[in-house]
Amino acid sequence: MTALLLTPKRRATLSVLALTLVLAACATAPSPEPVTAPVVNAGAAAPGATPPPEAAAPGVAAASAAAPNDAAVAAGPPTDPVRPEEPVDLDAIAAQRDLWIRVRRGFAMPDLDTPLVRDREQWYATRPDYVQRMTERSSRYLFHVVEEIERRGMPTELALLPFIESAFNPQAMSTAKASGMWQFIPSTGKHFDLAQNAFRDDRRDVLASTRAALDYLQKLHGMFGDWHLALAAYNWGEGSVGRAIARNQKLGLPTDYLSLKMPDETRYYVPKLQAVKNLIARPEAFGLTLPAIENHPYFLSVPIQRDIDAALVARLAGLPLDEFHALNPSLNKPVILAAGTPQVLLPYDNANEFVRALPGYQGPLASWTAWVVPTTMKPADAAKRVGMSEAELREANRIPPRMLVRAGSTLMVPRHPHRHLDDVSERVADNATMLLAPDAPALRRTTVKARKNDSVASIAARYRLSAASVADWNKVAAGAHFKTGQAVVLYLPGRAATARKSSPSTTAKARGNRATTSATAQRKSAGKSVAARPTAQGKSRVAANSR
């Protein structure tokens, strides 16, 4: 049984919808046999490029073959992601209550009452516009977070933590590369199974990041036995909190949150949460008004069973694209890969509109596909292989200038409806990466002999290198001087390394050989053919020294 929000009117709509889906599925034509196609999918409409030649773009990872217009089976029925087996009745008394009442009822952490709490209360109270924007933004996600927290038996103060971490912005990115509503850094995200690849970043996924954050907080509470210490560890790291506790134990000091020595950010962290808790508990005491949030799901989860453009989902759902991305912020590309992103979130009415409109859609579902690059190549060469201009390929894949695309990279390229019938495989969807390398000649290690009065700076200038590099290669100071004839290590482009390797003495020999050649030629013109042998030897030495 799916968890739809049921009103009498919506029950009738769903009955018609269910009949539509059944009839559409029965009418679905059988899928054609798989074809050898080199590509996997991405999003916003791809440029209208000429299909590449038959030999182009080898090595595409494919999943099951299916007709590109087979929209009838591209999505499943919507469900409530937390309680998929329980229908939600919008006419129920509980659904009519203000969600803030439910949040307040679940507060269970001990209160802090310190000057830092007063300071943060004052900060928020003097910024009512900021609080209004933050709470309005939370209205999309708060019901789901509260449901998850209550299901686990955790205190509802934790539902307010995204106010502190990101102001409930799932697309927030910190200077430390922490991302999403719950602000996971890449390494911690990977530890809690949040995928991060070319097509998606689950640190921004509303459902996945909430699951991971609550898993982490439960683990920290199990380690420290105290929610304030668990929150400090969430901000500062469990190792740091553990060492701070050990330090206090060694000194015979208390080990509670307020007694530990910690960075300013962590000292303010729990007081910030306490201040927000106080604002939510008594908004009128701070001259604030909270926007009402209904006590029922804002969004439903719609299973995605075929690769499909994000813009097409939004259009069929009757939803602005920016609102779609607010609910599905994990997408890095304009295409949704069913193998890697098996569901999208849509507001209740829009979810029903989408599954109702999808079976009647006749165009291609996905404009893009993903190509795994078989060998390291220039972007211009890759573009030719897939039938794009170099500028289009660079823009679609954010390839900076003067970079090569390394073998194994996954590029987003146009999906041609008559050639690429397969969706992206799970292997590619879950492991897609972009690997780049500088488009510059390979460097070779070489040594040169220092001239009289040579220094790091003079050699760097002679070979057009940075003084810092020359100093680093030779383990000397940037202002150091070399002895005459001292071997100096340099890393030069292949050809330059050979051409510039000549020492001053070799150069002098070359000049002498050229002089000998000239004198011999003069003697030969005077009829002295005995000079022919030294002339040939002189030329060969000059050539050898100039290669």
> Could you tell me the maximum CA-CA distance found in the chain, to the nearest angstrom?
121
pLDDT in tens, 466-486: 999 899 999 999 899 999 999
Are 358 and 384 in the same domain? no
pLDDT in tens, 123-165: 999 999 999 999 999 999 999 999 999 999 999 999 999 999 9
Whether 377 contacts 97, CB under 8 Å: no
Q: Assign 335 a pLDDT band (cuts: 50, 70, 90).
A: very high
Whether 335 contacts 344, CB under 8 Å: no
User: Beta-strand (E) ranges in 439-538?
Assistant: 443-449, 487-493
Average pLDDT over residues 341-345: 95
Q: Assign 90 a pLDDT band (cuts: 50, 70, 90).
A: low
pLDDT attached to residue 542? 33
- Which burial class, exposed, middle or buried, applies to 442 when counting CB atoms under 10 A from its CB (0-12, 13-18, 19+)? exposed
Average pLDDT over residues 298-316: 96
Does 37 fall in a domain?
A: no
Whether 296 contacts 7, CB under 8 Å: no
pLDDT at 242 over 70: yes
- Residue 190: CA count within 13 A, CB half-sphere: 6
pLDDT attached to residue 510? 45
Whether 358 contacts 316, CB under 8 Å: yes
Which structural domain, as residue segments, surrounds residue 148?
A: 99-286
pLDDT attached to residue 38? 36
pLDDT attached to residue 197? 96
Higher pLDDT, 238 or 34: 238
Higher pLDDT, 73 or 521: 73
Question: What does the alpha-carbon distance between residue 203 and residue 196 come to, in Å, rounded to a whole number?
Answer: 8
Q: Assign 415 a pLDDT band (cuts: 50, 70, 90).
A: very high
pLDDT attached to residue 83? 80
pLDDT attached to residue 419? 75
pLDDT attached to residue 182? 98
Are 487 and 432 in the same domain? no
Higher pLDDT, 167 or 501: 167
Higher pLDDT, 443 or 322: 322
- Residue 290: CA count within 13 A, CB half-sphere: 24
pLDDT attached to residue 50? 39
Does 9 fall in a domain?
A: no
Does 19 fall in a domain?
A: no
pLDDT attached to residue 47? 63
Are 115 and 75 in the same domain? no
User: Beta-strand (E) ranges in 282-360?
Assistant: 299-303, 308-309, 335-336, 343-347
Q: How many domains does the chain have?
A: 4
Exposure b/e, 129-156, CB count within 10 A at least 16 = b: eebeebbebbebbbbbbbbbbbeeebbb
Question: What does the alpha-carbon distance between residue 244 and residue 226 come to, in Å, rounded to a whole number?
Answer: 15
DSSP structure class, residue 160: G
Nearest CA to 340 among 430, 448, 249?
430
Nearest CA to 276 among 204, 203, 168?
168
Q: For tokens 């060492």, what's the residue?
A: 243
pLDDT at 60 over 80: no
Are 464 and 409 in the same domain? no
Domain boundary residue, one of 440, 472, 502: 440
pLDDT attached to residue 68? 46
pLDDT attached to residue 88? 60
Question: What does the alpha-carbon distance between residue 537 and residue 314 come to, in Å, rounded to a whole number?
Answer: 79
pLDDT attached to residue 494? 66
Does 57 fall in a domain?
A: no
**Distance separating the N- and C-terminal Cα atoms of the chain:** 79
Does 177 fall in a domain?
A: yes
pLDDT in tens, 67-84: 445 787 888 888 888 888
How many helices (H) does the chain have, and how many strands (E)? Answer: 23, 14
pLDDT attached to residue 290? 95
Are 139 and 82 in the same domain? no
Run of H or E including 5: strand 5-6
Whether 323 contacts 362, CB under 8 Å: no
Whether 427 contacts 403, CB under 8 Å: no
pLDDT at 534 over 50: no
Does 412 fall in a domain?
A: yes
Are 454 and 361 in the same domain? no
Which residues on adjacent β-strands are paired with residue 88?
5
DSSP 65-101: E--TT-GGGSB---B-SS-TTS-EETTSHHHHSBHHH
pLDDT at 504 over 90: no
Question: What does the alpha-carbon distance between residue 305 and residue 63 come to, in Å, rounded to a whole number?
Answer: 12
Most confident of 16-20, 182-186, 521-525: 182-186
Domain boundary residue, one of 333, 365, 397: 365
Tokens of 515: 């002089």
- Which burial class, exposed, middle or buried, applies to 445 when counting CB atoms under 10 A from its CB (0-12, 13-18, 19+)? exposed
Are 143 and 183 in the same domain? yes
Whether 204 contacts 330, CB under 8 Å: yes
Catalytic residues: 165
Q: How crowded is residue 22: how many other Cβ atoms within 10 Å of its Cβ?
A: 10
pLDDT attached to residue 544? 35
Written as one letter, the residue type at 184 is F
Alpha-carbon Rg for the chain, nearest whole angstrom, is 34
**Under 8 Å CB-to-CB from 234, ≥6 apart: which residues?**
161, 216, 217, 220
Tokens of 60: 């595409």
Supply the CATH number for residue 477's domain: 3.10.350.10
Does 60 fall in a domain?
A: no
Average pLDDT over residues 292-318: 95
Higher pLDDT, 414 or 52: 414
Written as one letter, the residue type at 427 is R
Supply the CATH number for residue 149's domain: 1.10.530.10
DSSP 380-417: HHHHHHHT--HHHHHHHHTPPTTEEEPTT-EEEEEPPT
Are 387 and 255 in the same domain? no
Does 518 fall in a domain?
A: no
pLDDT at 539 over 80: no
Are 416 and 399 in the same domain? yes
Q: Assign 444 a pLDDT band (cuts: 50, 70, 90).
A: confident
Whether 111 contacts 28, CB under 8 Å: no
Nearest CA to 140 among 302, 349, 353, 326?
326
pLDDT attached to residue 115? 97
Whether 224 contacts 243, CB under 8 Å: no
pLDDT attached to residue 45? 61
pLDDT attached to residue 351? 94
Are 249 and 376 in the same domain? no
pLDDT attached to residue 29? 36
Are 154 and 212 in the same domain? yes
Are 255 and 343 in the same domain? no
Residue 412, CA distances (Å) to 126, 173, 275, 386, 469 in order: 47, 24, 46, 10, 37
- On average, the pLDDT of the chain sits at 82
Average pLDDT over residues 266-292: 97
Domain boundary residue, one of 365, 391, 410: 365
pLDDT attached to residue 55? 36
Most confident of 15-24, 27-36, 489-498: 489-498
pLDDT attached to residue 443? 79
